[in-house]
């Protein structure tokens, strides 16, 4: 009787968890995209995007509109035409050169309200205001202001001063254009070496009506400090010699990439709030200090395959996190049984998952991936026949997603 009650409670929890409205936020420094090697990086990015499935995708080091179109058409809209690009604008500030910021978003969850630019001495900080497309978006709209930045690189007093000036330009803009209760997300490559830098301090405790916060509260001296191995995002490579000198080497030993949030996102009573535990440096298994991210000794939740992709894509790792909304999205895609494959014994699994693949589609399904609810890849399986029995002995109790290379997905629950 006790086991029946336990299963019932778990089923209730599953249905509740999957009825929640969430959005995945992602920032990625793409490293001189599309110029830097290897060729056809949009296809590498596609494989990374397929595993993260962001609803808001912010990027830095994008060179031009052509690069933006490659990302949209080849990496994001390869299976579903649901993403659009905010207007691309070349940098208008200082001497920022030919690298720019941009935002892509899922039109089933968000609409673009306005865009703006904060000019600095180096590079623009781009503002994108999105409205959540919920059942209350007219009477009680949820508005989020996303800012995407790329601060000055390198150590030294003069570079730290430029980073401070850019942070000051941001906080001055916030004070002039937003209310104190605005929902703000500031993402980017900030090139901060320590939380004691004046620019970082300006964002957090400077003269601003909306102080920024680190969702994981990992504040300290990140530079070449193994204590912070789990949040290091640069560099994915020990050497850039295989990449024609593009990007930085040195291995993973800096935390340059962040998604900062305004304080209201840390309040679970806010209409949109950060889901605790979902912030992560995607691809970082926390054991790769001063190594290539795809070093075989850096094994963990993120597979060798995904770490190979990240090593090839950029000298930075993406940063991701999830938001939860208290309102219902109007047009959310739900995971459901697919005509291509199904679970004939149901989606509550003890030790073995039984899967049937349609005989008419068996030649199309080359590979299956199993993800947890954080988007972390747990298993990769080659498809050799139309029926498969997949051991779940190495997975803990919880919700998982079975996804085919064609984009179809099923959810199931492991209950040992």
DSSP 252: B
Q: Looking at the structure, do residues 262 and 138 belong to the same domain, yes or no?
A: yes
Question: For 260-291, how does the pLDDT look when each residue is reduced to its tens digit (9 = 90+)?
Answer: 999 999 999 999 999 999 999 999 999 999 99
> Residue by residue, what is the 3-state secondary structure of 280-331?
EECCCCCCCECCCCCCCCCCCCCCHHHHHHHHHHCCECCEEEEEEECCCECC
Tell me if residue 211 falls in helix, strand or coil: coil
Residue 42 scores a pLDDT above 70:
yes
In angstroms, the CA 185 to CA 202 distance is 16
Q: Looking at the structure, do residues 295 and 359 belong to the same domain, yes or no?
A: no
In angstroms, the CA 339 to CA 281 distance is 35
Q: Looking at the structure, do residues 63 and 194 belong to the same domain, yes or no?
A: yes
pLDDT, position 286: 97
Tell me the mean pLDDT in the region 324-351: 71
If one counts the domains in the chain, the total is 2
Q: Looking at the structure, do residues 260 and 140 belong to the same domain, yes or no?
A: yes
For residue 38, being part of any structural domain is answered with: yes
Q: What is the CATH number of the domain that holds 360?
A: 2.60.40.10
Q: Looking at the structure, do residues 313 and 342 belong to the same domain, yes or no?
A: no
Please check whether residue 279 is in contact with residue 320, taking contact to mean a CB–CB distance below 8 angstroms.
yes
Q: Which among 265, 293, 325 is the end of a domain?
A: 325
Query: 117, exposed or middle or buried, with CB in 10 Å at 0-12, 13-18, 19+?
Result: middle
Q: Looking at the structure, do residues 207 and 250 belong to the same domain, yes or no?
A: yes
In angstroms, the CA 75 to CA 185 distance is 24
In angstroms, the CA 44 to CA 75 distance is 8
Q: Which of 110, 133, 8 is nearest to 55 (CA)?
A: 110
Tell me the mean pLDDT in the region 195-212: 97
For residue 367, being part of any structural domain is answered with: yes
Q: Which two tokens stand for residue 203?
A: 């964002």
Q: Looking at the structure, do residues 252 and 338 belong to the same domain, yes or no?
A: no
Tell me if residue 203 falls in helix, strand or coil: helix
Tell me the mean pLDDT in the region 168-184: 98
Residue 329 scores a pLDDT above 90:
no
In angstroms, the CA 215 to CA 279 distance is 7
Q: Looking at the structure, do residues 216 and 354 belong to the same domain, yes or no?
A: no
Unique residue bearing structure tokens 């969702």: 215
Read off the pLDDT band of 375 (50, 70, 90): low
In angstroms, the CA 321 to CA 276 distance is 9
Q: Looking at the structure, do residues 24 and 133 belong to the same domain, yes or no?
A: yes
pLDDT, position 331: 58
For residue 14, being part of any structural domain is answered with: no
Q: Looking at the structure, do residues 358 and 319 belong to the same domain, yes or no?
A: no
Rounded to 10 degrees, the C-alpha dihedral 188/192/196/199 comes to -60
For residue 403, being part of any structural domain is answered with: yes
State the chain's maximal CA–CA distance in angstroms: 70
Range from 17-26, 128-137, 312-321, 323-332 carrying the lowest mean pLDDT: 17-26
Q: Which among 296, 325, 354 is the end of a domain?
A: 325
Strands 143-150 and 183-189: parallel
Q: Which domain holds residue 169?
A: 20-325
For residue 390, being part of any structural domain is answered with: yes
Q: Which among 325, 348, 364 is the end of a domain?
A: 325
For residue 70, being part of any structural domain is answered with: yes
Q: Looking at the structure, do residues 255 and 388 belong to the same domain, yes or no?
A: no
Strands 272-274 and 212-213: unpaired
E strand or H helix at 208: none
For residue 165, being part of any structural domain is answered with: yes
In angstroms, the CA 289 to CA 236 distance is 10
Radius of gyration in angstroms for the set of CA atoms belonging to the chain, rounded to a whole number: 22
Tell me the mean pLDDT in the region 347-357: 87
Tell me the mean pLDDT in the region 165-186: 98
Between CA 34 and CA 45, with CA 39 as vertex, the angle to 5 degrees is 65
Q: Looking at the structure, do residues 250 and 313 belong to the same domain, yes or no?
A: yes
Please check whether residue 222 is in contact with residue 289, taking contact to mean a CB–CB distance below 8 angstroms.
no
pLDDT, position 407: 53
For residue 2, being part of any structural domain is answered with: no
Q: Which of 123, 242, 271, 105 is nearest to 189 (CA)?
A: 123
Burial 316-331 (b: 16+ CB within 10 A, else e): bbbbbbbbbbbbebee
Q: What is the CATH number of the domain that holds 47?
A: 3.60.10.10
In angstroms, the CA 58 to CA 146 distance is 9
Please check whether residue 255 is in contact with residue 231, taking contact to mean a CB–CB distance below 8 angstroms.
yes
Tell me if residue 179 falls in helix, strand or coil: coil
Query: 223, exposed or middle or buried, with CB in 10 Å at 0-12, 13-18, 19+?
Result: middle
Q: Between 341 and 130, where is the model more confident?
A: 130
Residue 13 scores a pLDDT above 50:
no
């Amino acid at each position: 009787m006790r086991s029946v009650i336990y299963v019932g409670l778990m089923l209730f929890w599953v249905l509740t968890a999957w009825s929640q409205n969430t959005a995945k936020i992602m920032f990625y420094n793409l490293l001189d995209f599309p110029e830097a090697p290897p060729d056809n990086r949009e296809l590498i990015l596609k494989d990374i995007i397929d595993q993260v499935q962001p609803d808001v995708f912010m990027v830095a080091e994008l060179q031009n509109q052509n690069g933006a179109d490659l990302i949209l058409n080849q990496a994001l809209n390869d299976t579903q035409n649901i993403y659009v690009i905010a207007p691309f604008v070349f940098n208008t500030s200082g001497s920022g050169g030919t690298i720019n910021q941009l935002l892509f978003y899922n039109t089933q969850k968000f609409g673009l309200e306005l865009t703006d630019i904060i000019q600095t001495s180096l590079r623009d900080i781009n503002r994108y205001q999105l409205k959540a497309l919920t059942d209350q978006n007219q009477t009680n709209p949820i508005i989020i202001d996303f800012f995407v930045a790329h601060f000055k690189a390198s150590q030294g007093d003069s570079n730290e001063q430029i980073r401070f000036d850019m942070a000051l330009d941001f906080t001055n803009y916030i004070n002039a254009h937003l209310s104190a209760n605005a929902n703000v997300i500031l993402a980017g490559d900030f090139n901060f070496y320590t939380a004691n830098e004046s620019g970082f301090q300006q964002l957090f405790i400077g003269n601003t009506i909306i102080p920024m916060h680190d969702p994981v509260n990992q504040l300290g001296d990140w530079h070449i400090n193994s204590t912070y191995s789990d949040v290091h995002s640069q560099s994915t490579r020990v050497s850039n010699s295989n990449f024609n000198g593009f990007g930085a080497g040195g291995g993973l030993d800096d935390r340059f990439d962040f998604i900062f949030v305004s304080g209201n996102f840390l309040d679970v009573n806010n209409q949109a709030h950060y889901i605790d535990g979902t912030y992560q440096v995607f691809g970082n298994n926390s054991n790769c200090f001063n190594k290539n991210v795809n070093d075989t000794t850096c094994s963990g939740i993120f597979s060798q395959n995904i770490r190979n992709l990240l090593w090839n894509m950029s000298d930075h790792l993406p940063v991701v996190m999830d938001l939860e909304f208290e309102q219902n999205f109007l047009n959310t895609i739900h995971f459901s049984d697919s005509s291509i494959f199904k679970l004939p014994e149901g989606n509550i699994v003890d030790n073995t998952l039984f899967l049937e693949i349609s005989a008419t589609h068996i030649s199309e399904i080359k590979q299956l991936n199993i993800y947890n609810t954080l988007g972390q890849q747990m298993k990769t399986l080659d498809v050799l026949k139309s029926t498969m029995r997949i051991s779940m002995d190495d997975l803990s109790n919880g919700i998982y997603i079975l996804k085919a290379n064609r984009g179809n997905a099923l959810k199931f629950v492991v209950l040992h």
